[in-house]
Structures are given as C-alpha cells and as structure tokens.
Copies of this chain bind each other. A is one copy, B any other.
C-alpha cells in the first residue's frame, strides 16, 4: 500500500500559491498542516476506488494522477488528469456519496490526505476557501460540459488533437519544449479521447506521418503546434 512519510509542510509547499489553499486563512492552514497525512504512491497504485466511501480529500503534493470511471462493459473513461497542487475526491465528499471515479497514479506521487471533518469544518468557517471551492467546481463543470458537446459532435480525429493539447495544458512539456511530460499508454489516450485503442493508435500514426507529432515509445513530441490546433478545430 501507500507509504507514509514525513509530512511536507503546507507553508513551504511549492504549490501553496496556486492550489485552492492559497485562499485559506492562515489559522486554517495551520490546522490542515497539522492533521494531514502524506503518502507516496507508486506508479499504477490506486489512491481511491470508485464505489468506496470518502473519508477525506486528497491534495497532490507531487506527481500525476488519472481519475477514471469504469464504464458498464469495463472500459475505462478518463475524466480528469490531476497534477501537483490540485485536490481530488471533493465531489464525493461534498455530495456525501461514494466515489464515482477511481484515482490511479500515473507516476510515483506524493499525496496529502485531509480528513473529512476537518475539511468540511474549515469550509464552513472560511468563506474565501469555500468560494475558491465553488470556483474550482464551476470551472470543472464548464470543462465537462464542453467535453460533452465535443464528444457528441466532433470526429475522433479532432478530439485526439484536442486531447494532445489538453495534456500539454495540464502537464506541460519537457525541457526540449516539445515532448509531453507524461507517459500514457495508447489505451489511456484512447480512454481520454473516448474511442477504441486501435483508432487512437491509427490516428497517432497518421499525425506522425503528417509531421504533426513524433512518436518514440510512450514519448509524444508535438512538432507542429499550429497544425495540431487547426486539426483540433477549436472555435470556442
């Protein structure tokens, strides 16, 4: 299972200015810093499971995580990519229901756990934290609705290009300025796009043939951003 380790301090967390907690009042931050438990999860490890009851909220200190639904026939649909500074598991907590998604580490990650009672308690007291929470929820909802529209209306080719851009937005590029700084299997890419693995593979090959990208194992280099954006056919 996950390995606990010396808690990194919230006050020195490298994401303390970008995460939701940058809005929290100092005294509340102190409480969180004291109560939280941090653990290291290895690549592939599950942080929480769809169907389980939530006991708190997770704040990613470092690493990359995917959140996915397991569809009826067992196929996975990735609904969110989580990065350092992001929190996860709040939806289930707020609506007091079970997790609707499974969180799996895409690489070794260190993740802090904040107990339910404390988090909800602080949320009640700290208006600016709860406002920030609403902002996050609104923005996720907006993205989800856009994704619904695109799934319903855009062909796989456009959605794949869009997904590449989305991965870049989320996790950024490596030092070379081209390579996506996350390693995803073709199946994971397909599950992000919402298509069959073979279709994703085929289209990636096409993109490569067209000079838009370069493939080397799980490395994906975005060569022609202009053409990728054009292929994604975004208007909004």
Contact = CB atoms under 8 A, between A and B. Distances in A.
A235 B74 CA distance: 11
Contact of A137 (B141, B148, B194): B141
A194 B130 contact: no
Q: Place the interface of chain A in its size category.
A: 35 or more
A73 B153 contact: yes
A134 interface: yes
Interface in A67-103: 69, 71-73, 75, 77, 79, 90-91, 94-95, 97, 100-101
A97 B145 CA distance: 15
A148 B144 contact: yes
A138 B71 CA distance: 20
A152 B233 contact: no
Given A72-B153, A94-B134, 13 more contacts: A69-B149, A72-B234, A72-B235, A77-B148, A77-B149, A94-B138, A95-B139, A100-B145, A123-B131, A123-B134, A134-B137, A144-B145, A152-B194
B124 A124 contact: no
A236 interface: yes
Contacts of A71: 149-150, 152-154
Interface of A: 69, 71-73, 75, 77, 79, 90-91, 94-95, 97, 100-101, 123-125, 127, 130-131, 133-135, 137-142, 144-154, 194-195, 233-236
Given A71-B153, A154-B72, A79 B138 contact: no
Chain A interface SS verdict (over half): helix
B127 A131 contact: no
B95 A138 contact: yes
Contacts of A235: 72
